[in-house]
Amino acid sequence: MSLDDALETEQLAYYRARAPEYDRPYSERADLQELLRVSAEWPVGGDVLELACGTGQWTALFAPRATSVTAVDASEEVLAIARERVSAPNVRFEQADLFDWRPSRRYDTVFFGFWLSHVPPARMPGFWNTVAASLAPGGKVVFVDDGPSMAADEELLTGESAPAAVRELEDGSRYRIVKIFHQAEALTGDLASLGWAAKVRPEARNYLVGVAEPAV
Protein backbone atom coordinates (compact mmCIF):
# COMPACT_ATOMS: atom_id res chain seq x y z
CA MET A 1 0.00 0.00 0.00
CA SER A 2 1.39 3.41 -1.00
CA LEU A 3 1.53 6.37 1.39
CA ASP A 4 -1.34 7.99 -0.53
CA ASP A 5 -3.43 4.81 -0.26
CA ALA A 6 -2.76 4.55 3.48
CA LEU A 7 -3.89 8.13 4.08
CA GLU A 8 -7.03 7.68 1.98
CA THR A 9 -7.84 4.41 3.78
CA GLU A 10 -7.52 6.13 7.15
CA GLN A 11 -9.69 8.99 5.90
CA LEU A 12 -12.48 6.57 4.97
CA ALA A 13 -12.14 4.83 8.35
CA TYR A 14 -12.55 8.22 10.03
CA TYR A 15 -15.78 9.03 8.21
CA ARG A 16 -17.19 5.57 8.87
CA ALA A 17 -16.45 5.93 12.59
CA ARG A 18 -17.68 9.52 12.64
CA ALA A 19 -21.11 8.74 11.20
CA PRO A 20 -22.99 9.10 14.54
CA GLU A 21 -21.30 12.49 15.11
CA TYR A 22 -21.42 13.71 11.52
CA ASP A 23 -24.50 15.92 11.76
CA ARG A 24 -23.64 17.73 14.96
CA PRO A 25 -21.90 20.74 13.36
CA TYR A 26 -24.98 21.38 11.22
CA SER A 27 -27.05 21.98 14.36
CA GLU A 28 -24.33 23.83 16.30
CA ARG A 29 -22.69 26.18 13.79
CA ALA A 30 -24.56 29.31 12.69
CA ASP A 31 -22.38 29.65 9.59
CA LEU A 32 -23.28 26.14 8.44
CA GLN A 33 -26.96 26.86 9.00
CA GLU A 34 -26.56 29.99 6.89
CA LEU A 35 -24.83 27.94 4.19
CA LEU A 36 -27.74 25.52 4.06
CA ARG A 37 -30.14 28.44 3.64
CA VAL A 38 -28.24 30.14 0.82
CA SER A 39 -27.92 26.85 -1.07
CA ALA A 40 -31.39 27.62 -2.43
CA GLU A 41 -29.65 30.14 -4.70
CA TRP A 42 -27.16 27.67 -6.20
CA PRO A 43 -27.78 26.37 -9.74
CA VAL A 44 -28.57 22.80 -8.75
CA GLY A 45 -31.38 21.13 -10.67
CA GLY A 46 -32.43 18.62 -13.29
CA ASP A 47 -30.83 15.21 -12.91
CA VAL A 48 -28.33 15.66 -10.07
CA LEU A 49 -25.29 13.57 -9.18
CA GLU A 50 -24.12 14.17 -5.62
CA LEU A 51 -20.65 12.87 -4.83
CA ALA A 52 -19.64 12.21 -1.20
CA CYS A 53 -23.21 12.76 -0.01
CA GLY A 54 -22.48 11.93 3.63
CA THR A 55 -25.60 11.75 5.78
CA GLY A 56 -27.80 13.43 3.19
CA GLN A 57 -27.85 17.00 4.50
CA TRP A 58 -27.57 18.39 0.97
CA THR A 59 -29.51 15.53 -0.62
CA ALA A 60 -32.57 16.50 1.41
CA LEU A 61 -32.36 20.10 0.18
CA PHE A 62 -31.85 19.25 -3.48
CA ALA A 63 -34.36 16.41 -3.86
CA PRO A 64 -37.49 18.64 -3.94
CA ARG A 65 -36.11 20.77 -6.77
CA ALA A 66 -34.39 18.02 -8.79
CA THR A 67 -35.79 15.65 -11.37
CA SER A 68 -33.65 12.95 -9.80
CA VAL A 69 -30.72 12.68 -7.39
CA THR A 70 -28.08 9.95 -7.46
CA ALA A 71 -26.11 10.23 -4.22
CA VAL A 72 -22.81 8.37 -3.88
CA ASP A 73 -20.60 7.81 -0.83
CA ALA A 74 -17.99 5.26 0.22
CA SER A 75 -19.23 4.89 3.81
CA GLU A 76 -22.09 2.48 4.42
CA GLU A 77 -22.56 4.04 7.87
CA VAL A 78 -23.31 7.56 6.63
CA LEU A 79 -25.43 6.17 3.79
CA ALA A 80 -27.63 4.38 6.34
CA ILE A 81 -28.34 7.75 7.98
CA ALA A 82 -28.90 9.42 4.60
CA ARG A 83 -31.45 6.79 3.57
CA GLU A 84 -33.41 7.44 6.75
CA ARG A 85 -33.26 11.20 6.21
CA VAL A 86 -34.28 11.14 2.54
CA SER A 87 -36.85 8.65 1.32
CA ALA A 88 -38.02 10.62 -1.72
CA PRO A 89 -38.81 8.40 -4.73
CA ASN A 90 -36.56 10.47 -7.01
CA VAL A 91 -33.45 9.79 -4.87
CA ARG A 92 -31.14 6.80 -5.27
CA PHE A 93 -28.16 6.09 -3.01
CA GLU A 94 -25.07 4.19 -4.09
CA GLN A 95 -22.04 3.01 -2.11
CA ALA A 96 -18.75 3.36 -3.97
CA ASP A 97 -15.19 4.58 -3.59
CA LEU A 98 -15.19 7.86 -5.52
CA PHE A 99 -11.60 7.35 -6.67
CA ASP A 100 -12.66 4.13 -8.44
CA TRP A 101 -16.30 4.92 -9.29
CA ARG A 102 -17.29 5.66 -12.88
CA PRO A 103 -20.65 7.07 -14.03
CA SER A 104 -23.09 4.94 -15.98
CA ARG A 105 -24.92 8.01 -17.32
CA ARG A 106 -24.66 11.81 -17.45
CA TYR A 107 -26.25 14.46 -15.25
CA ASP A 108 -27.36 18.09 -15.50
CA THR A 109 -25.66 18.96 -12.20
CA VAL A 110 -22.74 17.38 -10.39
CA PHE A 111 -22.54 18.52 -6.77
CA PHE A 112 -20.09 17.78 -3.98
CA GLY A 113 -20.11 19.30 -0.52
CA PHE A 114 -16.97 19.31 1.67
CA TRP A 115 -15.27 16.75 -0.55
CA LEU A 116 -12.80 18.64 -2.73
CA SER A 117 -10.61 19.44 0.27
CA HIS A 118 -10.20 15.67 0.81
CA VAL A 119 -8.95 14.97 -2.72
CA PRO A 120 -5.13 14.64 -2.76
CA PRO A 121 -3.39 16.84 -5.36
CA ALA A 122 -2.26 13.75 -7.27
CA ARG A 123 -5.89 12.65 -7.55
CA MET A 124 -7.25 15.97 -8.85
CA PRO A 125 -6.85 15.29 -12.61
CA GLY A 126 -8.45 11.85 -12.37
CA PHE A 127 -11.25 13.08 -10.15
CA TRP A 128 -12.13 15.95 -12.47
CA ASN A 129 -11.99 13.58 -15.46
CA THR A 130 -14.65 11.50 -13.68
CA VAL A 131 -16.70 14.65 -13.08
CA ALA A 132 -16.42 15.57 -16.76
CA ALA A 133 -17.58 12.09 -17.77
CA SER A 134 -20.59 12.55 -15.48
CA LEU A 135 -21.74 15.89 -16.87
CA ALA A 136 -24.34 16.25 -19.61
CA PRO A 137 -23.83 18.86 -22.32
CA GLY A 138 -24.67 22.28 -20.88
CA GLY A 139 -24.48 20.96 -17.31
CA LYS A 140 -22.79 22.56 -14.34
CA VAL A 141 -20.60 21.47 -11.45
CA VAL A 142 -21.42 23.05 -8.08
CA PHE A 143 -19.32 22.55 -4.97
CA VAL A 144 -18.92 23.94 -1.47
CA ASP A 145 -16.05 23.48 0.93
CA ASP A 146 -14.17 24.95 3.85
CA GLY A 147 -12.47 28.25 3.16
CA PRO A 148 -8.94 29.15 4.30
CA SER A 149 -10.17 30.61 7.60
CA MET A 150 -11.22 27.14 8.73
CA ALA A 151 -7.60 25.99 8.87
CA ALA A 152 -7.35 27.59 12.31
CA ASP A 153 -9.70 24.90 13.65
CA GLU A 154 -7.58 22.00 12.40
CA GLU A 155 -4.58 20.12 13.77
CA LEU A 156 -2.53 20.20 10.58
CA LEU A 157 0.17 17.64 9.84
CA THR A 158 3.47 17.88 8.00
CA GLY A 159 5.46 15.19 6.28
CA GLU A 160 2.45 13.32 4.90
CA SER A 161 2.00 12.20 1.29
CA ALA A 162 -0.61 14.97 0.83
CA PRO A 163 -1.74 17.99 2.87
CA ALA A 164 -3.32 16.43 5.94
CA ALA A 165 -4.85 16.98 9.35
CA VAL A 166 -5.65 14.78 12.32
CA ARG A 167 -9.19 14.56 13.65
CA GLU A 168 -10.30 13.24 17.03
CA LEU A 169 -13.68 11.63 17.73
CA GLU A 170 -15.61 11.70 20.98
CA ASP A 171 -14.15 8.36 22.04
CA GLY A 172 -10.63 9.79 21.77
CA SER A 173 -9.68 7.90 18.62
CA ARG A 174 -7.58 9.89 16.18
CA TYR A 175 -7.43 9.63 12.40
CA ARG A 176 -5.40 11.27 9.67
CA ILE A 177 -7.35 12.76 6.79
CA VAL A 178 -6.44 14.58 3.60
CA LYS A 179 -7.28 18.24 4.14
CA ILE A 180 -6.50 21.03 1.69
CA PHE A 181 -7.66 24.58 2.35
CA HIS A 182 -8.04 25.94 -1.15
CA GLN A 183 -7.76 29.65 -1.88
CA ALA A 184 -10.47 30.86 -4.28
CA GLU A 185 -8.09 32.42 -6.82
CA ALA A 186 -5.61 29.54 -6.75
CA LEU A 187 -8.38 26.95 -7.09
CA THR A 188 -9.84 28.82 -10.05
CA GLY A 189 -6.43 28.65 -11.71
CA ASP A 190 -5.96 24.98 -10.86
CA LEU A 191 -9.32 24.15 -12.43
CA ALA A 192 -8.50 26.21 -15.52
CA SER A 193 -5.37 24.09 -16.00
CA LEU A 194 -7.61 21.01 -15.91
CA GLY A 195 -9.95 22.40 -18.58
CA TRP A 196 -12.65 24.04 -16.45
CA ALA A 197 -14.05 27.55 -16.38
CA ALA A 198 -14.87 28.13 -12.72
CA LYS A 199 -16.08 30.94 -10.51
CA VAL A 200 -15.20 30.41 -6.84
CA ARG A 201 -16.40 32.84 -4.19
CA PRO A 202 -16.62 33.12 -0.39
CA GLU A 203 -19.97 32.17 1.16
CA ALA A 204 -21.39 32.33 4.70
CA ARG A 205 -18.14 33.84 6.03
CA ASN A 206 -16.06 30.66 6.31
CA TYR A 207 -16.76 28.69 3.15
CA LEU A 208 -16.11 28.63 -0.59
CA VAL A 209 -18.74 27.95 -3.26
CA GLY A 210 -17.77 27.17 -6.82
CA VAL A 211 -19.61 26.77 -10.10
CA ALA A 212 -17.70 25.21 -12.97
CA GLU A 213 -18.28 24.25 -16.58
CA PRO A 214 -15.97 22.69 -19.17
CA ALA A 215 -13.95 25.46 -20.79
CA VAL A 216 -14.90 26.15 -24.39
Domains and CATH numbers, the chain: 3-214 (3.40.50.150)
Rounded CA separation 142/69 (Å): 14
> pLDDT tens, 33-65?
999 999 999 999 999 999 999 999 999 999 999
Cβ proximity of 107 and 134 under 8 Å:
yes
pTM recorded for the entire structure: 0.96
Contact criterion met (CB below 8 Å) for 132 and 195:
yes
How crowded is residue 149: how many other Cβ atoms within 10 Å of its Cβ?
13
CB 77 within 8 A of CB 55: no
Q: H helices of 90-152, where?
A: 124-134
Q: What is the pLDDT along the chain (216 residues), one digit of tens a residue?
A: 455 789 999 999 999 999 999 999 999 999 999 999 999 999 999 999 999 999 999 999 999 999 999 999 999 999 999 999 999 999 999 999 999 999 999 999 999 999 999 999 999 999 999 999 999 999 999 999 999 999 999 999 999 999 999 999 999 999 999 999 999 999 999 999 999 999 999 999 999 999 999 998
